[in-house]
Chains A and B, each alone.
Chain A
């Protein structure tokens, strides 16, 4: 957790609490079998302490994943199961997008149908081009 640079002042908050409430409603919906909720944090006005407040309130969870597709992305489950931080970076490490997803598993973590088809093709091609194997029995 990032320590507050200036601890003697009141935290300056604007939208952290409304977002926590949106997450709460998102979890209710998730439990009743409805769609996932995705919150685009870059389209919400934040005061200086909002993000820290959100991170504190949600805490750290059990899953931490890194994706390498069109630059790096991190997917972290928060201390509240079903609530995920998804952050996309560019090659220089700058943040491109920051999302909170309320879902069982974020879409980007799943293997995608087209990629599986391509992977299968690659594997089959590889097997076809390999010289016949010598088995242990021979």
Chain B
């Protein structure tokens, strides 16, 4: 019989009915984490799909990832996918050995040049010329470089291949690095996890098989369909977290009631993976359901990210254990807050001790009441303001409100305030916050352009105005990049975002930004004078 060409023909040869094929498509769609409405599209694509050649390289690894895949919980379906892929080289699974095996690899590469997939499990040791791991006398480094030459894409399977994993953990004696550090000119898909969820491995293979291309990836090169949400976002214990109900030990009432495991070290909030939905062992359960926190196995450097039982909040505001730099940034938050409070106190006392000339006139009204009224009503628009022109008013309100709403009503900020002060209030939906942040940035850009365009304003500006502008816009921009995981890795962005806000905090008391407080004093003072005279302010 001729070698079957498309998957549909392959299934027909195995006497699989159309109904069976439909079922296969429904399950494959589910496996790729696509919505069921996509089944017809998947079916059409799979009918035409051609058999891709896969070369599987196992480097510095424990075989757990291969084990995970071959024990994956959809044997019928995955076997079909696996049988259908032409697995031309896998030195753990193949029958051939020695030279014959290596020849099979070379032959597959030559035959499918530019089209084959390379799957890698394990990290690659590069220290001392890569002597720490060799296959058939070839170092892993050399084998990887040679094998990926004609590859269409590379799939790094497991946290070792994706991020270096255990071999990369401190002190990394073999100089282990992940695939993405070595393969720079081919698409690399990172299927992280220690081990990765089997369905995720076959889901990525199925995606390539179905659509002939790799799935959409996040900032760490992981398929968004599986790594797009955190464990915490999908955790069924989340309602307890939101209510502040935590297990304090593994056998207390809270643990028995199934409360949140955050205080027992759960890394769910900083871990992106599909465990909370796909689950493990035929979809039976997952660590959190079994009463143990997530250890964050699908995140870079999770071995070095602090103790598994240490709560994330051991650092400041839930960022402490993200990595060394994050700890520093978190700790700096304390220093920045102290600088802010001390600086502001100093400025306010300074203003107070400037003193006030004694008013010899008869008071005609209350100073206090009028002062307070002025603080309040000057926050709103009144016709006298139009002298400044509508542009200044509109852009001014927009960036002030944009900044304040984003700062105070974004749920993660509220959680942070809550962890510091115990106070919390309702958050606005993320989309609204995105809009306020974007409007804030747009208005800030507009006022900057206006400042350059207006000769008077331009001449009146000094370096401090520009410094204040940069310090104000940075937290908004970095926050947006962080939330949408754009450009830099999440941890780096988190650190930059925290630092940007800390810089703003430190700068407020000593620059024009101190108006965040002094404006109320000044307004009160104006109001008080007017009140004393019995006139409108």
Residues of A within 8 A of B (CB): 9, 12, 14-15, 38-40, 42-48, 50, 67, 69-71, 73, 88, 90-92, 94-97, 99, 107-108, 111-115, 118
Residues of B within 8 A of A (CB): 16-20, 22-24, 26-27, 30, 33, 35-37, 39, 73-77, 80, 234-239, 257-258, 276-278, 282-283, 289
Q: Which residues of A contact B289 (CB under 8 A)?
A: 48
Q: Decide: A94 and B17 in contact? CB cutoff 8 A.
A: no
Q: Helix, strand, loop or mixed for chain B's interface?
A: helix
Residue contacts A-B, CB under 8 angstroms, 15 given? A38-B39, A40-B36, A42-B30, A43-B30, A46-B236, A69-B16, A70-B77, A71-B76, A90-B77, A92-B75, A94-B73, A95-B283, A97-B30, A114-B18, A115-B19
Q: Which residues of A contact B75 (CB under 8 A)?
A: 90-92, 94
Q: Decide: A112 and B257 in contact? CB cutoff 8 A.
A: no
A/B pair count, beta carbons within 8 Å: 96
Q: Which residues of A contact B17 (CB under 8 A)?
A: 69, 112, 114-115, 118
Q: Kindly report which residue of chain A lies nearest to residue B278, judged by CB atoms.
A: A42
In the bound complex, CA of A14 to CA of B238 (Å): 9
Q: Which residues of B contact A73 (CB under 8 A)?
A: 23
Q: Decide: B236 and A90 in contact? CB cutoff 8 A.
A: no
Q: Which residues of B contact A46 (CB under 8 A)?
A: 236
Q: Among the listed B24, B35, B282, which residue makes an inter-chain contact with A95, where contact means beta carbons less than 8 Å apart?
A: B282
| B340 shortest CB reach to chain A, Å | 40
In the bound complex, CA of A71 to CA of B74 (Å): 11
Q: Decide: A113 and B282 in contact? CB cutoff 8 A.
A: no
| B280 shortest CB reach to chain A, Å | 12
Q: Among the listed A88, A90, A112, which residue makes an inter-chain contact with B26, where contact means beta carbons less than 8 Å apart?
A: A88
Q: Among the listed A45, A48, A90, A115, which residue makes an inter-chain contact with B76, where contact means beta carbons less than 8 Å apart?
A: A90
In the bound complex, CA of A69 to CA of B77 (Å): 12
| A88 shortest CB reach to chain B, Å | 6
Q: Which residues of B contact A107 (CB under 8 A)?
A: 22
Q: Decide: A99 and B18 in contact? CB cutoff 8 A.
A: no
Q: Decide: B36 and A39 in contact? CB cutoff 8 A.
A: yes
Q: Decide: B26 and A97 in contact? CB cutoff 8 A.
A: yes
The answer to whether residues A12 and B258 also contact, given A69-B16, A108-B23, A112-B19 and a CB cut-off of 8 A, is: yes
Q: Decide: A96 and B73 in contact? CB cutoff 8 A.
A: yes
